[in-house]
Amino acid sequence: MSLRQYLSGLRGRDVTVIGLGVSNLPLVRLLCQSGARVTARDQRRRDGLGAELSAELDALGVSLVLGDGYLEDLPGTRIFCTPGINPRRAEIQAVIARGAVIDSEMNLFLRLCPCTVIGITGSDGKTTTTTIISEMLRAAGHKVWLGGNIGAPLLEHTDEMSPEDVVVVELSSFQLMTVSRAPDISIITNISPNHLDVHTDMAEYIEAKCAIFSNQGPDGLCILNGDDPLLREKAKLCPGNVRFFSRQGRPEGGVWLEDGVLYSEGLAVMKQSDIRIPGIHNVENYMAAMAALRGLVAPEIMASVARTFPGVEHRLELVRELDGVRYINDSIGSSPTRTQAGLKCFDGPLVLIAGGYDKKIPFDDLGVDIAARVRLLLLCGATAGAIEGAVRAAPTFDAGRTEIVRFDSLDDLVPAARQRARAGDTVLFSPACASFDQFKNFGVRGRYFKELVNGLV
């Protein structure tokens, strides 16, 4: 079925869209243009939507339910949920019991997409892996559509796609909670605690991640991190084919690292030193890409991309060097494990800037790594106290070796880093937390950090 055919079937029908974020706004426009009667619900009040969006919704004829009670009295019709709404919430479950059909923009896209879809998820590394895969496919001459949790929503472009194209989508755990279809090729980079402020518990988070393969058929391909014990266990549940990548072993038919060389099914594809972006976690990202693209991209093209790809903004991004001090923007470091990976990329003395929104994730392991690697820890945000407590509780913590200072905001913290950093230091901005306590998202946070750093004299 094409998108046009699907939308024509909604003409004159009542449809509810929960959430007026980036992915759902194009959906609202499509539904209105198809002649559906659309009600949009959002926790923001009208003044929070902004004048431009409010005017557009009024012009489209959208009925609005806004504010604190936006999930009350949901109708028993077709409901498209934003990824930020847990479908296990009581309000959603109650309306499902009354016969409502719960859908999402991503689930609809996966049903209607006419070409091969490669989907990437994981607690860490999914954006970089997604971008590497798209770069490799483009270098090999494929027409690539990049989207999902990265880039623009793709649903409105479905009818422009041909069977020969390739779609590459980054998928969050929230998006995966409402999908009943799976990508043709699915990748899980790793699984570690994350988003426990939204998910009911770790088991729900893991279940959401594994939805990327659980709806595959027998011809599906799932790429998993073979060094992750949890994923090795979950591989037994894959209905299709499984291919592992590993730094610690030689998975049969998979991808591995040995003596500084990346191998795919026994063929040397590239040297570790070919990879331009730093960090062993990025070696894993390349191995995941190699495993997914075997047969789609020639090995020499994969190696060429590794030598030239500079990385993604906000991911270990060098902002500037000033008086012998390097300033690194790793604003994507929104979980403890991601920041731990960043810390391991640098050998010299480190000044770490961390702290942010509380996602209810423990910082114990991060505290151990900070105590071992960081000379100066500069903290701000809602989690500053929790991170400091984890560092001080680390068995190897030495107050004479790791100094800890707290600040109210980045505006105070970045100038302090300038004053306290020494020639040879690396100032790493990797918050280990989400940005929502002070910034809209990690991109806004990272750009503000870069603005502050570039203003230093």
CATH number, domain containing residue 432: 3.90.190.20
Residue 404 scores a pLDDT above 80 = yes
Residue 454 scores a pLDDT above 70 = yes
* Per-residue pLDDT at 10: 95
* Per-residue pLDDT at 198: 63
* Per-residue pLDDT at 97: 92
Residue 196 scores a pLDDT above 70 = no
Higher-confidence residue of 238 and 85: namely 238
Q: Please, which residues bridge with residue 121 across strands?
A: 188
* Per-residue pLDDT at 194: 60
pLDDT digits (tens, 9 = 90+) for 162-175: 999 999 999 988 89
Task: Please state the rounded mean pLDDT for residues 207-233.
Answer: 95
pLDDT digits (tens, 9 = 90+) for 342-375: 998 888 899 999 999 988 889 999 999 999 999 9
Half-sphere exposure of 82 (CA within 13 A, CB side): 18
CATH code, domain with 301: 3.40.1190.10
Residue with tokens 């590459």: 168
Domain final residue pick, 56, 84, 103 = 103
Rg of the chain taking only CA atoms, in angstroms:
23
* Per-residue pLDDT at 262: 98
Domain final residue pick, 42, 74, 103 = 103
Residue 15 scores a pLDDT above 70 = yes
Stretch among 87-96, 288-297, 383-392 having the lowest mean pLDDT: 87-96
* Per-residue pLDDT at 199: 64
Are 333 and 292 found together in one domain? Answer: no
Per residue, what are the HEC states of the chain?
CCHHHHHHCCCCCEEEEECCCCCHHHHHHHHHHHCCEEEEEECCCHHHHCHHHHHHHHHHCCEEEECCCCCCCCCCCEEEECCCCCCCCHHHHHHHHCCCEEECHHHHHHHHCCCEEEEEECCCCHHHHHHHHHHHHHHCCCCEEEEECCCCCCHHHHHHCCCCCEEEEECCHHHHCCCCCCCCEEEECCCCCCCCCCCCCHHHHHHHHHHHHHCCCCCCEEEEECCCHHHHHHHHHCCCEEEEEECCCCCCCCEEEECCEEEECCEEEEEHHHCCCCCHHHHHHHHHHHHHHCCCCCHHHHHHHHHHCCCCCCCCEEEEEECCEEEEECCCCCCHHHHHHHHCCCCCCEEEEECCECCCCCCHHHHHHHHHHEEEEEECCCCHHHHHHHHHHCCCCCCCCCEEEECCCHHHHHHHHHHHCCCCCEEEECCCCECCCCCCCHHHHHHHHHHHHHCCC
Average pLDDT, the chain: 93
Confidence of residue 155 (pLDDT cuts 50, 70, 90): very high
Domain count across the chain: 3
Residue 449 scores a pLDDT above 80 = yes
Are 153 and 283 found together in one domain? Answer: yes
pLDDT digits (tens, 9 = 90+) for 317-330: 889 999 999 999 99
Task: Please state the rounded mean pLDDT for residues 37-62.
Answer: 93
Are 131 and 260 found together in one domain? Answer: yes
Residue type, 342: G
Are 287 and 337 found together in one domain? Answer: no
Residues 411, 417, 418, 421: what is their CA dihedral angle, to the nearest 10 degrees?
Answer: 180
Helix %, strand %, coil % for the chain, to 5? 40, 20, 40
Are 23 and 130 found together in one domain? Answer: no
Are 99 and 128 found together in one domain? Answer: no
Are 69 and 135 found together in one domain? Answer: no
Residue 437 scores a pLDDT above 70 = yes
Range of the domain at 295: 107-308
pLDDT digits (tens, 9 = 90+) for 266-294: 999 999 999 988 889 899 999 999 999 99
Are 129 and 208 found together in one domain? Answer: yes
Are 332 and 450 found together in one domain? Answer: yes
Are 180 and 33 found together in one domain? Answer: no
Distance CA 26, CA 151 (A): 13
Q: How far is CA 440 from the centre of its chain?
A: 15
Confidence of residue 313 (pLDDT cuts 50, 70, 90): confident
- Percent of the chain's residues with pLDDT above 70: 98
Distance CA 304, CA 276 (A): 10
Domain final residue pick, 103, 130, 149 = 103
Are 440 and 363 found together in one domain? Answer: yes
Residue 217 scores a pLDDT above 70 = yes
Task: Please state the rounded mean pLDDT for residues 224-241.
Answer: 95
Higher-confidence residue of 146 and 316: namely 146
Stretch among 50-54, 284-288, 413-417 having the lowest mean pLDDT: 50-54
Residue type, 82: T
* Per-residue pLDDT at 178: 85
Confidence of residue 50 (pLDDT cuts 50, 70, 90): confident
Task: Please state the rounded mean pLDDT for residues 215-229.
Answer: 96
Are 425 and 406 found together in one domain? Answer: yes
Task: Please state the rounded mean pLDDT for residues 28-36.
Answer: 96
* Per-residue pLDDT at 32: 96
